Chain A
């Protein structure tokens, strides 16, 4: 029931926010915050209850009710360790996303929070849906409001970015739908009963050729979302144009749905075919790591920079998943969590800087540390996390993945670890350009020709450019930093939670 409550609270909260638009505009934010916090509490309680994972093959929560009996479609949601930790991440980032938007969004507030909460509802649904139709349903439910978030509250190039985001993900999604239908009918031909239920479809036997095509359908959807390199081009646009909370959710949660999909569905349903393509998938992952890092290094736009680092970090996920080693799987789960937190934090910071300086160009920043020592320090922390410094969660994640993958393919792993060096390069360059160096903020160079009382456009902003974090912003960032450090020092609880899931994945995928 907890799961239903979580999804229902997000949906209902969204509707309430929209309705509150017509009553009292201050109310909206609070409704959104209360909904998000309530869900964090619910997920937290669930985590406290189930943190030790489950017995193998068992599910912590398993809830089914008929939805559309004419087509054997059920509303089937279930929770295991993997879903649990991802739900925790969703609820956590959900609260922060609401907080992030507190001051940023001034127009159409009700509709904004409606979309925000519905995206979160969709993501939650994706992580727990165990009926493939339902999964597809939630998969789409999270896309549409996200499209609105980008298209309405985005930056100057928002239209293009939102189309690209929607069309890329929808194309993948529809191919996945065809694959789901194929599974549905092949299962019927084999066993004589119609079902979209993942639990039953798990036992399906497919011929190699069938499996190959069907897997491709799934894989395309997830790889676009992840994103792996040839399909990544929607990501920088979407991330850089989205409002801060949008980027936070995109990077922190939406990308993880791709990784989750690969772990939950692709390698579980198609173990043989996955083994077939494992080498290629790892190669694609490594290409992503290196290519993303190189592009990140070349960016001048702060948000695009963070977006490309995501491409690079997500390469590790493909590398880890397709090595089929226990350590690597553990690493992948850690990577999902820690990347969500660290990149989320970086996007939140980019948003805060943009609120102050009204620019994303790193060329227009520099020397911000003097004005904002608090933010500078925290930014340094997350830059370090992103480059994989020990003590931060990211280090654990990438280390585990590399160790796991090394057994399988040393060459690729060595190349991948070069990616860590690149990560150091681009992260430090970012710190250097944004927070150190000479101050280039305009108020340092007052315009000599400005007559008294006349304000140059933008100088009103730049005059206030250097105020440090407010209490709200500080709360956001400090909670993220605490989370990333805890994950770095004590990753064991997470690994315990997902232990049984990882074990069963290993079992499926060892020939």
Chain B
């Protein structure tokens, strides 16, 4: 391994180092605050390292990894999401849990797993990344072990994720049997020109199950609502953003390598999945009274939208998907940020009644939530609108009219439940509850500030998306 290759891995090493730093700090009995700050600094170092190595990209580290602009973008979205999740976690866990410190080890490990997914070009690294991610998530989901839902959803995720990992392994084995290789590119070359055999198709079907499960696409979505509800709010935010970004990145890279989209049949399978996710996700969310479950169903629908950008398998498609994921990450993070901040000691703020008249009690929080919901619904002036617009643009460009029309019609359905929450926010308020002083004024302030910044980002991306798009294009040139 040359120096440059080693250097290119620097951000990931820093990320791995972060969890070790946290372990050492716990051993040294440092406070939660110190760990929080150190963790945040480590994330900053990761970002700095990414900037530092940018010029030597792309680097291939055979046979496992490739670090290029594509990976950098997705990793960037992941790091950004984790940074916000980390900030949100402080207040949430400090007020609920005696041992909040180990949480950060798991969080950084999960991040590492997701980040490894974005750079993998080999089944082994894919599997390693996925398992690091999943195993950390099992524990993260059930972290507040005194709550009933937490254990239930942790177990649910454990069993289903283990099952799908088995599917994935068998799928990989079948690929290997067919092509004699586990590298994406080598598989692609073996397949090029020849009609894929039945083993390949079978293997692919098994992999679709595994990936579909991780992304919570219909019909593999059954865990989503329960896990979203049972997990602590910051963890839910992590599942909704970082874990999905990582898995989607590897799916994209794999499909580009093996020219998945060239096959008419597979294209139909994926558009079928996309359409089913959009329709079912939106319909299931319609009557939800629990905001975490509602966001779970809406995330199913949103991943369906995202798959529409995945379908063409071109540079525009990647561009659209990166922008979409970025916009979606900001949006959903601010939504879950509000849930986190409003949660009480005993219970997450998941019931819709908590939000009644919030705008008149806490205008800033309600404004953030309203903007993020508008963004999820795809209303102009918000990032979500432009993200949806690019996806539509990509879909229309490749004549995918059926998914495009379904996207449009289901967003209208989706509008109903977003409006339902928004009108709850603006409903007349119940008597104001007594204000109690925040326990950690500094972190309260930081959290509020973060949420405000997220809201501003949503609006800026919605009105002036040009620079962001240009940035994405430039990164994608690094290949």
Contacts of B415 in A (CB 8 A): 166-167, 170
A429 interfacial by beta-carbon distance below 8 Å:
no
Pick the residue among B360, B381, B412, B470 that contacts A170 (CB under 8 A). B412
Cross-chain contact A175 with B408 (CB below 8 angstroms):
yes
Please choose the segment from B78-86, B202-210, B391-399 that sits at the chain A interface, where 4 or more of its residues have CB less than 8 A away. Answer: B391-399
B319 to chain A, nearest CB (A): 9
- Is B396 a contact of A181 with CB atoms below 8 Å? yes
* A144 in contact with B374 given A70-B466, A174-B412 (CB within 8 Å): yes
Given the complex of chains A and B, what is the CA–CA distance between A148 and B427 in angstroms?
Answer: 11
Interface: B135 (CB within 8 A) = no
Q: Which residue of the partner chain, among B389, B390, B397, B411, contacts A185 with CB atoms under 8 Å?
A: B397
B-chain residues with CB within 8 Å of residue A472 when the two chains form the complex: none
Q: Convert B164-187 into 0s and 1s, putting 1 for each residue whose CB lies closer than 8 angstroms to a CB of A.
A: 000000000000000000000000
Chain A residues near B419 (CB, 8 Å)?
Answer: 147, 162-163, 166-167
The residue from A70, A140, A163 contacting B469, defined by CB atoms under 8 A apart: A70
Nearest chain B residue, comparing its CB with the CB of A137:
B380
Interface string of A140-173 (1 = CB under 8 A from B): 1100100110011000000100110011001100
- What's the Cα separation between A174 and B411 when bound, in Å? 9
Residues of A within 8 A of B411 (CB): 174
Q: Chain B contact residues: over half helix, strand or loop, or mixed?
A: helix
Contact of B392 among A67, A163, A177 (CB under 8 A): A177
Q: Which residues of the partner chain A approach B343 to less than 8 Å between Cβ atoms? A: none
Partner of B408, one of A140, A151, A174: A174
Among residues 407 to 425 in chain B, which have CB atoms less than 8 Å away from a CB atom of chain A? 408-409, 411-412, 415-416, 419-420, 422-423
Contact B423 A159 (CB under 8 A): yes
- The answer, yes or no, to whether B405 is at the interface (CB within 8 Å) is yes
Which A residues from 184 to 224 make CB contacts under 8 A with B?
Answer: 184-185
Map CB proximity to A onto B447-479 as digits: 1 under 8 Å, 0 otherwise: 000000000000000001110011001000000
Residue of A nearest to B393 (CB): A181
Interface residues of A, count at CB 8 A: 30
Contact B412 A68 (CB under 8 A): no
**Bound complex: CA of A162 vs CA of B7, how far in Å?**
57
Contacting pair B465 A68 (CB below 8 A): yes
The B-contacting residues of A in range 65-116, CB under 8 angstroms, are: 67-71, 108
Bound state CA distance, A67 and B380, in angstroms? 14
Q: What is the chain A residue whose CB lies nearest that of B469?
A: A70
CA distance A343 to B390 in the complex (A): 40
On whether the beta carbons of B393 and A71 are closer than 8 Å, the reply is yes
Smallest CB-CB separation from A168: which chain B residue? Answer: B412
Distance between B435 CB and nearest chain A CB, rounded to angstroms: 18
Contact indicator A144/B379 (Cβ below 8 Å): yes
Of the candidates A141, A148, A162, A174, the one having the most CB atoms from chain B within 10 angstroms of its own CB is A174
Distance in Å from the Cβ of A175 to the closest Cβ of chain B? 7
Evaluate contact between B408 and A178: CB separation under 8 angstroms: yes
Check A178 against B405 for contact (C-beta < 8 Å): yes
Interface residue ranges of B181-198 to A (CB < 8 Å): none
Question: A28-62 CB contact bits vs B (8 Å, 1 = yes)?
Answer: 00000000000000000000000000000000000
Q: Is B404 an interface residue (CB 8 A)?
A: yes
Report A214 CB to chain B, min CB distance, Å: 11
Pair A178/B426 contact, Cβ less than 8 Å = no
Roughly how many angstroms separate A178 CA and B404 CA in the complex, as a whole number?
8
Most chain-A Cβ atoms within 10 A of its Cβ — which of B404, B420, B423?
Answer: B423
In the assembly, what is the distance between CA of A308 and CA of B381, in Å?
A: 33
Residues of B contacting A141 in the complex (Cβ-Cβ under 8 angstroms): 380-381
Q: How far is the CB of B474 from chain A (nearest CB, A)?
A: 11
A-chain residues with CB within 8 Å of residue B390 when the two chains form the complex: 71
Name the residue on B nearest A136 (C-beta).
B380
Is A378 in contact with chain B by the CB < 8 A criterion? no
Given contacts A70-B473, A167-B416, A174-B412, contact A151 B396 (CB under 8 A): no
Q: Is the CB of A177 within 8 A of B408?
A: yes
User: Closest residue to A159 on the B side, CB-wise?
Assistant: B423
Measured between beta carbons, the chain A residues less than 8 angstroms from B396 are 178, 181-182, 184-185
Interface pair B466/A67, CB less than 8 Å apart: yes
Q: How far is the CA of A140 from the CA of B466 in the complex (A)?
A: 20
Closest to B381 in A: A141
CB distance from A412 to the nearest CB of B (A): 33
- Contacts A151-B423, A178-B408 given; does A140 touch B416 at CB 8 Å: no
Q: For A171, what are the chain B residues with a Cβ–Cβ distance below 8 Å?
A: 409, 412
Expressed in whole angstroms, the minimum distance between the Cβ of B303 and any Cβ of chain A is 20
Residues of chain B contacted by A177 (CB below 8 angstroms): 389, 392, 408
Looking across the interface, which residue of chain A has its beta carbon closest to that of B404? A178
Q: A178-B405, A185-B396 are in contact. Are A68 and B423 (CB under 8 A)?
A: no
Interface code B424-449, partner A: CB below 8 Å = 1, 0 otherwise? 00100000000000000000000000
A349 and B422 CA atoms in complex are apart in Å by 31
Considering only CB atoms, which chain B residue lies closest to A163 in the complex?
B419
Residue of A nearest to B472 (CB): A70
On whether the beta carbons of A68 and B464 are closer than 8 Å, the reply is: yes
The answer to whether B423 and A140 touch across the interface, beta carbons within 8 angstroms, is: no
Q: How far is the CB of B379 from chain A (nearest CB, A)?
A: 6
Instruction: Report chain A residues within 8 Å CB of B469.
Output: 68, 70-71
In the assembly, what is the distance between CA of A374 and CA of B466, in Å?
56
**Looking across the interface, which residue of chain B has its beta carbon closest to that of A178?**
B408
Q: Shortest CB–CB separation between residue B356 and chain A, in angstroms?
A: 13
Q: Is the CB of A70 within 8 A of B470?
A: yes
Q: Among the listed B404, B426, B470, which residue makes an inter-chain contact with A148, where contact means beta carbons less than 8 Å apart?
A: B426
- Closest Cβ of chain B to A97, distance in Å, is 20
Q: What residues of chain B lie closer than 8 Å to A136, measured between beta carbons? A: 380
Chain B residues within 8 Å of A175, by CB: 408
State A182–B396 Cα separation when bound (angstroms): 7
**Chain A 113-153 near chain B by CB (<8 Å), digits 1 or 0:** 00000000000000000000000110011001001100110
Task: Note all chain A residues with C-beta closer than 8 A to B381.
Answer: 140-141, 144
User: Which B367-410 residues have C-beta < 8 A from chain A?
Assistant: 374, 379-381, 385, 389-390, 392-393, 396-397, 404-405, 408-409
Closest CB in chain B relative to A158 CB, distance in Å: 9
Contact A152 B426 (CB under 8 A): yes
User: In the complex, which of the residues A68, A71, A152, A171 has the most CB atoms of chain B within 10 Å of its own CB atom?
Assistant: A68
When the two chains form the complex, which single residue of B420, B466, B473 contacts A68, counting CB atoms closer than 8 Å? B466
- Shortest Cβ distance from residue A183 to the other chain B in the assembled complex, whole angstroms: 10
- Beta-carbon nearest neighbor of A181 in chain B: B396
Q: How far is the CB of B355 from chain A (nearest CB, A)?
A: 15
Closest-CB distance, A153 to chain B (whole angstroms)? 10
Interface bits B326-369 vs A (CB < 8 Å: 1, else 0): 00000000000000000000000000000000001000000000
**A167 and B426 in contact, given A68-B469, A70-B466, A144-B379 (Cβ under 8 angstroms):** no
What distance in Å separates the Cβ of A260 from its nearest Cβ neighbour in chain B? 19
State the CA gap A456–B464 with chains docked (Å).
57
Of the A-B pairs whose beta carbons lie under 8 Å apart in the complex, a sample of 14, sorted by A's number, is: A67-B464, A70-B465, A71-B393, A136-B380, A163-B416, A163-B420, A167-B416, A170-B415, A174-B408, A174-B412, A177-B389, A178-B405, A181-B393, A182-B396
Q: Which 10 A-B pairs have the closest CB atoms?
A: A181-B396, A70-B469, A140-B380, A174-B408, A68-B466, A171-B412, A137-B380, A151-B423, A152-B426, A178-B408
Using a CB–CB cutoff of 8 Å, the interface residues on chain A facing chain B are 67-71, 108, 136-137, 140-141, 144, 147-148, 151-152, 159, 162-163, 166-167, 170-171, 174-175, 177-178, 181-182, 184-185
What 20 new A-B contacts, CB under 8 Å, besides A140-B381, A185-B397?
A: A67-B466, A108-B360, A137-B380, A141-B381, A144-B379, A147-B419, A151-B422, A159-B423, A162-B423, A167-B412, A167-B415, A167-B416, A174-B408, A174-B411, A178-B405, A178-B408, A181-B392, A181-B393, A182-B396, A184-B393
